[in-house]
Amino acid sequence: MRLKCIKLAGVKSFVDPTTVNFPSNMAAVVGPNGCGKSNIIDAVRWVMGESSAKNLRGESMTDVIFNGSTSRKPVSQASIELVFDNSDGTLVGEYAAYAEISIRRKVTRDSQNSYYLNGTKCRRRDITDIFLGTGLGPRSYSIIEQGMISKLIEAKPEDLRNFIEEAAGISKYKERRRETENRIRRTHENLARLTDLREELERQLERLHRQAQAAEKYQEYKAEERQLKAQLSALRWQALNEQVGQREAVIGNQEVGFEALVADQRSADASIERLRDG
């Protein structure tokens, strides 16, 4: 697999759409200082998923966008596409059957990044996963800068091992292992959180159970209270009814006595009248 061409638009010194072709396995880009040779290498790194602006000789990822000149206005976005010849079947997996692979990255002034794989929008990880173990990547041994050889000679064992693993094609397996370990760790963390949630729910259920029991007792007491109040009202009504009966009996007796007295008075009045007439 080899790089077939690079398509740039709005990228640093390549403001206009530009295609840089690599017609053979060996090609050279020559030109005076400041013509944009280093920008081509930056473009390759950027599309491959480089996330550090420092490694692209900038302060932020939007620095890859053409920022204007005395004769040209700044542009709103930058786009870079790499086209690879995969006719030798270097790539494996779902893209093994493709004779040509294109990856494209686009960024806007508001730092919105978009990735495309063979014209289909994808994630950054989808692109980095394809090239794991192939030697291609933003910081892999496929890009050798000035001073890199001396850095390899003076590299720490850990850094040197990373380069060797990438060259041997085992870095992708280490990456898969790291991802699996991270998933296991996250699973353990999730299980721990679920255990905490379960214990908290159990405590809440216990509190709710006690509250439910208290509510049931309250309802029982309220029902008993209503029953006792009804019984008390019945007893009071019965007592009042008996008192009313007694009062009515007394009033009845008094009315009988009053009527007897009235009759006696009338009889006396009649006797007096007779005596007066006689």
Strands 120-122 vs 77-85: parallel, antiparallel or unpaired: unpaired
Q: What is the pLDDT of residues 195-208, one digit of tens each?
A: 999 999 999 999 99
Is 12 exposed, middle or buried, given 0-12, 13-18 or 19+ CB atoms closer than 10 A?
Answer: buried
Taking CA 172 as the corner, what is the angle to CA 167 and CA 177, rounded to the nearest 5 degrees?
135
Phi-psi region of 119 (alpha: psi -120 to 50; beta: other; left: phi over 0): left
Cα–Cα dist 196/207, whole Å: 17
Q: Is 242 left (phi over 0), alpha (psi -120 to 50) or beta?
A: alpha
In sequence order, what are the residues at sequence separation of 6 or more whose Cβ sits closer than 8 angstroms to the Cβ of residue 75?
10, 15, 65, 66
Superfamily of domain 2-138: P-loop containing nucleotide triphosphate hydrolases (3.40.50.300)
pLDDT, position 52? 58
Q: How far does the chain reach from its first CA to its final CA, in angstroms?
A: 164
Both tokens of 182, joined, read: 């991270």
Q: For the chain, how many residues are written?
A: 278
Q: Specify the pLDDT at position 59.
A: 64
Residue 134: predicted pLDDT: 62
The secondary structure of the chain, three-state, reads CEEEEEEEECECCECCCEEEECCCCCCCCCCCCCCCHHHHHHHHHHHCCCCCCHHHCCCCHHHHECCCCCCCCCCCEEEEEEEEECCCCCCCHHHCCCCEEEEEEEEECCCCEEEEECCEEECHHHHHHHCCCCCCCCCCCCCCCCCHHHHHHCCCHHHHHHHHHHHHCCHHHHHHHHHHHHHHHHHHHHHHHHHHHHHHHHHHHHHHHHHHHHHHHHHHHHHHHHHHHHHHHHHHHHHHHHHHHHHHHHHHHHHHHHHHHHHHHHHHHHHHHHHHHC
Whether this prediction's pTM lies above 0.75 is answered by no
Dist. CA 85–CA 2, nearest whole Å: 5
Tell me the C-alpha distance between 81 and 84, whole Å: 10
Asked if residue 1 lies in contact with residue 23, where contact means CB atoms within 8 angstroms, the answer is no
User: What is residue 171's predicted lDDT score, i.e. its pLDDT?
Assistant: 63
pLDDT at 111: 83
pLDDT along the chain (278 residues), means of 10: 88 86 84 79 78 60 79 88 85 78 89 89 83 60 65 76 66 75 91 92 92 93 93 92 90 88 86 79
pLDDT in tens, 117-131: 998 999 888 887 777
